[in-house]
Amino acid sequence: MSTNRKLRVAIVGAGPAGIYAADILSKTGLDVGIDLFERLPAPFGLVRYGVAPDHPRIKQIIVALHKVLERGDIRLLANVDYGVDVKLEDLRQFYDAVIFSTGSIRDAALAIPGIDLDGSYGAADFVSWYDGHPDVPRTWPLHATEVAVLGAGNVALDVVRFLAKHADDLLPTEIPANVYETLKASPVTDVHLFARRGPAQVKFSPLELRELGHVPDVDVIVYPEDFEFDEGSMAAIHSSNQTKQVVKTLTDWTLKEPDELSATRRIHLHFLHKPVEVLGEDGHVVGLRTERTVLRGDGDVKGTGELHDWPVQAVYRAVGYFGSPLVDIPFDDAAGVIPNEEGRVLDAEGAPLPGVYATGWIKRGPVGLIGHTKSDATETIRHLIEDVGDPQDAANRFFTAADRDPQAVLDHLVARGVEVIQWSDWEVLDAHERSLGEPEGRERIKVVPREDMVAVSLGRPLTEDYPA
């Protein structure tokens, strides 16, 4: 490409990774036009649809993301599904380069017998349901009195807390009304979390863990026999203040006397229990079998052969997120990421694919916090800028966009019948959701069905009344 004309860049995915990449690119000093594509009618990705409604502190990240997009130098093109409404060959026509920031929204697999029984669920699907994601069903089968959650990270804690918490305590949040009604009718009494390693190896954040101890009418129960610390554990405790705080909180809970436990619902935290089978009867979950593990000295564990059966009627696996393949883009099926070298997407032979980049979880996998996402974006944008500045090979590093008019891509989408949601349209939906929540003292009540999100954004009548 010629370096004396305006660079045109498409970013696919308007979650934190995509917005940070757009923001960083916009501040490089390059003459650049940036279009941010989003499959859903609303931006912000997992911050809107992956953070529990009772965590408003984390949802405040949206405020910073909102400030980036409201500046007006980055164009939002939402309700546009890459691979359906627009494909790589289309993007090559309108842009010099594309950055994929589509994240990881699927549940990682857990290969144990019975995991596919009725009553066995993925945590990502459950989170999407209680967060009012437009692409999941409005109903959820909460019929179990005893539930198992498999995992040792913050998503597992979110699922445990949401299953155990009384629905009325969620009313001040942005929880959708259909979710409230379902949780209100839940007969749950006991929620069990199982972690295969010890207390010093869990990935809980101290704040998230402490929150469990403050959920009204819910007791947290831990078991002294599950507390084991090897050399690896002690090294982790001494080297990480976060690990030290987590272990202290868990250890303090072992000191509770039985007469202090009087709540109608209970959260049980089990360590050194590896799930080995989901037990079923007539196709439905009736229990979970775990194997007792022991620490090996390095913080990892080995099985003992000692099995335990737990009577539960539902199992939620929270063992991580996993990326999804994208049309016409290489994909690593084992790792769940786009193959790349520091953000430059690689073809089947391992060579950089001209004009194609990746950032965020689809680049490195679903690990790390927001700070890591910013670092990812910085690295990817640095390489894109390097490619722009390579006078000897620049023509081979980017697309050869034939139609560079910013209006051309909009005309292309409209011709395909796509109802594009731009920033000003999203602001209409945002204001509408806030107006729904205001009479009840809530920040917002989400509009859930996709067709209603689009209708509100574009000024059309709704298919149902809200709150709903």
- Residue 467, preceding peptide bond in cis (omega within 30° of 0): yes
Residues 227 and 215 in one domain: yes
Residues 76 and 211 in one domain: no
User: In this structure, is residue 282 part of a structural domain?
Assistant: yes
Distance CA(340)–CA(323), nearest Å, equals: 14
Residue 24's pLDDT is what? 98
Residue 33's pLDDT is what? 96
Q: What is the mean pLDDT of residues 96-100?
A: 97
Strand 273-281 relative to strand 284-295, pairing: antiparallel
Q: Domains in the chain: how many in total?
A: 2
User: In this structure, is residue 83 part of a structural domain?
Assistant: yes
Q: What is the mean pLDDT of residues 144-151?
A: 98
Buried b / exposed e across 375-399, counting CB within 10 Å, b at 16+? ebbebbbebbbebbeeeeeeeebbb
Q: Output the domain CATH number for residue 79.
A: 3.40.50.720
Q: What is the mean pLDDT of residues 286-315?
A: 96
Residue 261's pLDDT is what? 84
Give yes or no for residue 394 having a pLDDT over 60: no
pLDDT category, 159, cuts 50, 70, 90? Answer: very high
Residues 269 and 122 in one domain: yes
User: In this structure, is residue 296 part of a structural domain?
Assistant: yes
Give the angle subtended at the CA of 457 by the CAs of 51 and 182, to the nearest 5°.
45
Closest CA to 307 of 290, 319, 285: 290
Give yes or no for residue 448 having a pLDDT over 60: yes
Q: Output the domain CATH number for residue 201.
A: 3.50.50.60
Positive or negative, the CA dihedral 287, 289, 294, 299 is: negative
Give yes or no for residue 372 having a pLDDT over 60: yes
Residue 57's pLDDT is what? 74
pLDDT category, 396, cuts 50, 70, 90? Answer: low
CB atoms < 10 A from the CB of 167, how many? 16
Residue 463's pLDDT is what? 67
Give yes or no for residue 284 having a pLDDT over 90: yes
Q: Which domain holds residue 61?
A: 7-105+322-421
**Percent with pLDDT over 90 in the chain:** 84
Residues 279 and 204 in one domain: yes
CB atoms < 10 A from the CB of 58, how many? 16
Burial of 412 (0-12, 13-18, 19+ CB in 10 A): middle
Distance CA(311)–CA(287), nearest Å, equals: 4
